[in-house]
Amino acid sequence: MLDQPILSVRALSYAPSEGETLLRDVNLDIEAGGFYVVKGPSGAGKSTLLRLLCRLILPSSGAVLLRGRPVNRIPAPELRSKVLYLHQSPLMVEGGVEDNILLPFTFKANAALERPGRERLLELMRELRLDGVDLDRPADKLSVGQKQRVCLLRALVLSPDILLLDEPTSALDQDNAAVVLDRIAWLHREKGQTILLVTHGTQVIPVDNLRTLSVRNGTARIE
């Protein structure tokens, strides 16, 4: 018997307004530990699909299942700790860099999780080329690229079951984008992280079993 997909999409449709259907009757199975690059033309619904998967927006019809459980029946704090969406525009809160990285641990759903210490945070920051950034530095003083990497680091310390990454390298130069993609690939290879990555870029992602999730013409399929 085959293992149950970690995430399933069944007859999913999304109409943002009357008379406009962006996604229609989408059926997908996302395997645990898979790495999926989400591709398609601008406006096809790539970001929308990711937001539907983690219930940031609701479908017009159909269902999303996390290990067989409809996501609309999973309490939001629990779902957010298991399926984490990283927006392409970095979202920061008032405070320092450390405050932003550790933000998920202030939520009740994550209260039992062990917070990484400052040494571990500094190690992770070095890996993402943030070693010149002080943990106490006000987050609003960071560049867009630095904010994007801080948001990625915020996702990494929580260790969710699924990472939904919406163009995480869009504000980075080629060298730093390669560093971030290499770190994401390491999570997949060494930690078995399930990853869906939206990208318009042509960077090489060092993953052997890379798959493409193509979104176009109102539907989505895995190639």
- Residue 169's SS3 state is coil
- Burial-class residue 2 by CB neighbours within 10 Å (0-12, 13-18, 19+): exposed
Question: How confident is the model at residue 200, as a pLDDT?
Answer: 74
- Would you state the structure tokens that stand for residue 138, as one six-digit string? 């006000």
Instruction: Give the pLDDT confidence score for residue 1 in this predicted structure.
Output: 36
Q: What pLDDT does residue 11 have?
A: 97
Q: Which amino acid is at 165?
A: L
Whole-model pTM over 0.75: yes
What is the distance in angstroms between the CA of the first residue and the CA of the last residue of the chain?
23
CA 124 – CA 160 distance, rounded (Å): 16
Residue ranges of domains in the chain: 33-55+76-222
The per-residue pLDDT for 165 is 94
Two tokens at 66? 């996390």
pLDDT of residue 201: 67
Pair 168, 148: CB distance under 8 Å: yes
- The token duo for 165 is 């990454």
The per-residue pLDDT for 119 is 93
> What number of CA atoms fall less than 13 Å from residue 104's CA on the CB side?
28
**Model pLDDT, residue 99:** 95
pLDDT in tens, the chain (223 residues): 357 899 999 999 999 888 789 999 999 999 999 999 999 999 999 999 999 999 999 999 999 999 999 999 999 888 988 899 998 888 899 999 999 999 988 887 777 788 899 999 999 898 888 888 999 999 999 988 888 889 888 888 888 899 999 998 887 888 888 888 888 888 888 888 899 999 876 777 888 889 999 999 999 999 9
- pLDDT score for 64: 98
Give me the architecture of the 33-55+76-222 domain, per CATH. Answer: 3-Layer(aba) Sandwich (3.40)
CA separation for the pair 69, 55 (Å, rounded):
13
Q: What is the dihedral of CA 169, 140, 128, 210, to 10 degrees?
A: -30
pLDDT of residue 171: 78
